[in-house]
Amino acid sequence: EVQLVESGGGLVQAGGSLRLSCAASGFTFDDYAIGWFRQAPGKEREGVSCISSSDGSTYYADSVKGRFTISSDNAKNTVYLQMNSLKPEDTAVYYCAAVPTTSGSYYPGSFQGFGSWGQGTQVTVSS
């Protein structure tokens, strides 16, 4: 059973930084892509960043390029999202999700096909 557990959220002032963690279990980590998504109140969930654990390729939403960095520690089955220069509009519940890279629903360089959602972690950026 795929399990994903997010941690690292919190309250931070604008311009500050946070690092989120997504600990994975129940599947062969190297065969999956892991994505970070977020949902703000009253808004639809949107993709933030994703990484392929097999080849390390990454993808970012335009809104976070240059500020957020995704990385993967395959030995720990954990994906991180380093968030710098945070803005109030980054406030949301952040979720991680996974998809097998061999899945027909996975498209490298996109946020399509992800599932098996974690419970989320709240990020609040004050102005």
Contact 27, 17 (CB under 8 A): no
Q: What per-residue confidence (pLDDT) applies to 87?
A: 98
Percent of the chain with pLDDT over 90: 88
pLDDT (tens digit per residue) in 95-110: 999 999 998 888 889 9
User: Tell me, what's the pLDDT at 104?
Assistant: 86
d(CA 122, CA 40) in angstroms, rounded, equals 10
Rounded to whole angstroms, the Cα distance separating 45 from 20 reads 17
The average confidence (pLDDT) of the chain is 95
